Amino acid sequence: MLRLGILVSGGGSNLQAIIDNIKSGYLDKCKIATVVGSKSGIYALERATQNDIPSKVISRRDYSSIDEYDRVLSEYLKSSDVDLVVMAGFLSIVGEEFVRSFQNRIINIHPSLIPAFCGKGYYGIIPHQKALEYGVKVTGATVHFVELETDSGPIIMQKAVEVRPEDTPETLQKRVMEQAEWHILSESIKLISENKLRVQGRRVIY
């Protein structure tokens, strides 16, 4: 059984997709061991409670250094026997100590087709705003392994979504979540749970 530690910062729609896919049996080799919120009061934590999933708030601002934050986050996830860390709309920056403590066992969903519209400062609605400003005809979402540099690790899966003339950042974000994020994150987790992924340099083979 692959034990998941899901890190969240917002509404938790990606978390909900994983919960639903476990319930449906699609993710039959996975169990959510815990949900960690970067702050309290976010609906993602409510979704965990509704589904009897242990949760905890570990907020970066409560720790004086990124090393201390990394250590607390890592120790909590290890105490929950987490095998795979899933950043699902997670907005806190993790440091080298955390990335090393879960080497090649942290994945993230980013709301663009990396390497477009990614990196420092590109989160939430911003990638969609930038995609519309640039005038791209296609955007989408990317699941990738997490390395130290933001949005830089080997790409596991991507899914393209059309940009429509009438789109606003909000309508585009909604379509990218519905048509891409909520699907490829679970599909990537399933491949990992079935040990079907191989990382060769920057390429992820399956």
Residue with smaller CB distance to ligand GRF, 88 or 99: 88
DSSP-assigned letters across all residues of the chain = -EEEEEEESS--HHHHHHHHHHHTTTTTTEEEEEEEESSTT-HHHHHHHHTT--EEE--GGGSSSHHHHHHHHHHHHHHTT-SEEEESS--SPP-HHHHHHTTT-EEEEESS-TTSS-STT--TTHHHHHHHHHT-SEEEEEEEE--SSTT-SPEEEEEEEEPPTT--HHHHHHHHIIIIIHHHHHHHHHHHHTT--EEETTEEE-
| 12 contributes a contact to ligand GRF by CB under 6 A | yes
| 124 contributes a contact to ligand GRF by CB under 6 A | yes
Site for ligand GRF in 166-205 (CB under 6 A): 173, 177, 181
Q: Round to the nearest angstrom and report the end-to-end CA distance of the chain.
A: 20
Site for ligand GRF in 100-119 (CB under 6 A): 109, 111
Phi and psi at residue 146, to the nearest 5°: -90, 125
Catalytic residue, candidates 110, 128, 144, 183: 110
Q: Give the nearest residue (CB) to ligand GRF.
A: 89
Q: Is residue 128 annotated as a catalytic residue, yes or no?
A: no
Residue with smaller CB distance to ligand GRF, 8 or 106: 8
| 140 contributes a contact to ligand GRF by CB under 6 A | no
| 45 contributes a contact to ligand GRF by CB under 6 A | no
Residue with smaller CB distance to ligand GRF, 88 or 156: 88
Instruction: Single out the residue of 4, 6, 19, 88 in contact with ligand GRF (rule: CB under 6 A).
Output: 88
| 92 contributes a contact to ligand GRF by CB under 6 A | no
Which residues bind to ligand GRF, rule: CB under 6 A? Answer: 8, 10-15, 44, 88-89, 109, 111, 124, 173, 177, 181
Q: Which residues are catalytic?
A: 110
